[in-house]
Amino acid sequence: MKTKILIVDDDSLVVEFLKEALDVEKYELHSAHSAESALTRLRSESFELVLSDIRMGEMDGMELLTHIRELAPKTVVIMMTGFGTVETAVLAMKLGAFDFIMKPMSPESVEVRVKKAVEYIKLNRQVVALKLDSARRYSGIIGSSKLMTEIFDRIRLAAPSRATVLVGGESGSGKELIARAIHEESDRADGPFVKLNCAALNQNLIESELFGHEKGAFTGAIQARSGRFELANGGTLLLDEISEMPYETQSKLLRTLQEREIEKVGSAETVAIDVRIIASSNRNLAEAIADGSFREDLFYRLNVISIEVPPLRDRTEDIPQLVEYFVKKYSEENNREIKHVDREVFEVFKKYPWPGNVRELENTIQAAVVMSAGKTISTLDFSLDASAIRKPLANKLEFESLTLHELERQLILDRLQRFGGSKSEAARSLDVSARTIRNKLKEYSEFGDVDKMSGNGSTSAE
């Protein structure tokens, strides 16, 4: 894979020199003739390496370097100048530059420094790949956040034992994946992994599904049938949504856990079983015990080891890894070639509360991959509940006290501040024209803080 490089210099001769000095077979070369235009491209595209002059127009290379560190901290930057001093080089390094080249440059010196930077980039890729492999080491569970690292540690400790495990967490958070990971890391991995959704069956059916039945045990039982306990013998049985199990069945399950044997429906004979039980619930079982719908003694029998899966909104740092995983998965499934996800997508994703958790994120990415017109996923390719996206307002009380006019003004000024005063960028992110932004700013001029908030000291057109 070619390294994607952006060359930034207001001297077109220097740009052409660098393009000739670098091997087009190794590098994908792009150029920008001002720091402002480079910043615009960096907001919509990913570059692994930037070669930037220091002395340029209104925005110099040092300011661009600061923006790059905030916008794309993994992008490697090499600074170039014909007016350099040791102090300038030290400052550039402090601001996050990888290397520093003095003009005039020879093709050889450019190639040596770029090669060094590319080796560093490749090493970083390997580190990221190792982290992702580590994050995915359990049944496709994605995440390297502190919360997920703690989950992985609990899986590792719980898996070798025979103890029952109770997995809690909201719907869509990945409870079944946790259960499957425990099974796969245990000495039962070669045995079956069987699951039963306790919420999907009434009392008669669930007992038949759990314990099996004999022929003629009830109307419709035309032949004997093994239950989930027998099917899971030597392996693991996941009792999903255990809180919804009928109360009468709970006592029979408790006896099975205590005696390690079952009685089929319609039979008085007992059958020994060797099954590891994992239960899951999106409901607080303490509340179910309090309202009398769940047996307290069964809870303690199940809750030997507990694992609480965090909701996605509490581990938003894992969202980029999850997005990468799902984009790759559904691109392959749908024969699509998605190469890039706009940065604004991640900004929206980190503010959205994800009530459906990882399952909702997966469905969102699947739809975006299918509906995207090109090779890039943008905010236009998916639909989220805008009212649920967390806005950067101070607090709920402040939000409720604002008028519609004030809310609109706050949103526009926030976007201008985010995009460094660029009206065109703010307009694009809000899906309106730049003229609309200019007209709105004229309306807001009476408030006196438009210039400060817009970040460019002017409300004139760009």
Q: What is the pLDDT of residues 176-207, one digit of tens each?
A: 999 999 999 999 999 999 999 998 888 778 99
pLDDT > 50? residue 452: no
- pLDDT band of residue 132 (cuts 50, 70, 90) is low
User: Helices 404-418 and 434-444, interaxial angle, to 10°?
Assistant: 120
pTM over 0.85: no
What pLDDT, on the 0 to 100 scale, is given for residue 238? 97
pLDDT > 60? residue 314: yes
96: left (phi over 0), alpha (psi -120 to 50) or beta: left
Q: In which order are the strands placed within the sheet that holds 305-308?
A: 193-197, 236-240, 276-281, 165-168, 305-308
What b/e readout covers 279-312, taking b as 16+ CB neighbours within 10 angstroms? bbbbbebeebbeeebbbeebbebbeebebbbbbb
CA distance 52 to 14: 11
What pLDDT, on the 0 to 100 scale, is given for residue 460? 36
What pLDDT, on the 0 to 100 scale, is given for residue 164? 96
Nearest residue to 101 (alpha-carbon basis) of 23, 14, 214, 169: 14
Over residues 335-378, the pLDDT tens digits come to 998 888 988 899 889 889 999 999 999 999 999 999 888 888 98
What pLDDT, on the 0 to 100 scale, is given for residue 451? 45
Do residues 206 and 249 lie in contact, with contact meaning Cβ atoms separated by under 8 Å? yes
CA distance 423 to 46: 22
What pLDDT, on the 0 to 100 scale, is given for residue 454? 40
Q: Which domains does the chain have, with CATH numbers?
A: 3-132 (3.40.50.2300), 146-308 (3.40.50.300), 323-381 (1.10.8.60), 396-454 (1.10.10)
Tell me if residue 177 falls in helix, strand or coil: helix
Over residues 25-39, the pLDDT tens digits come to 889 999 999 999 999
pLDDT > 60? residue 137: no
What pLDDT, on the 0 to 100 scale, is given for residue 457? 39
* Mean per-residue pLDDT, 163-182: 94
C-alpha to C-alpha distances, 103 to 52, 85, 109, 121, 246, nearest whole angstrom: 12, 11, 10, 24, 78
- pLDDT band of residue 151 (cuts 50, 70, 90) is very high
Over residues 199-254, the pLDDT tens digits come to 888 877 899 999 998 888 787 778 888 999 999 999 999 999 999 999 999 999 99
What letter would DSSP give residue 397? Answer: H
Task: Identify which has the larger pLDDT, 422 or 363.
Answer: 363
DSSP string, 332-343: HHTT----EE-H
Helix (H) or strand (E) holding 269: none
Do residues 91 and 363 lie in contact, with contact meaning Cβ atoms separated by under 8 Å? no
pLDDT > 90? residue 276: yes
Mean pLDDT score across all residues of the chain: 84
- pLDDT band of residue 432 (cuts 50, 70, 90) is confident
pLDDT > 70? residue 392: no
Task: Identify which has the larger pLDDT, 428 or 71.
Answer: 71
Nearest residue to 114 (alpha-carbon basis) of 30, 50, 172, 20: 50
pLDDT > 80? residue 458: no
CA distance 174 to 354: 13
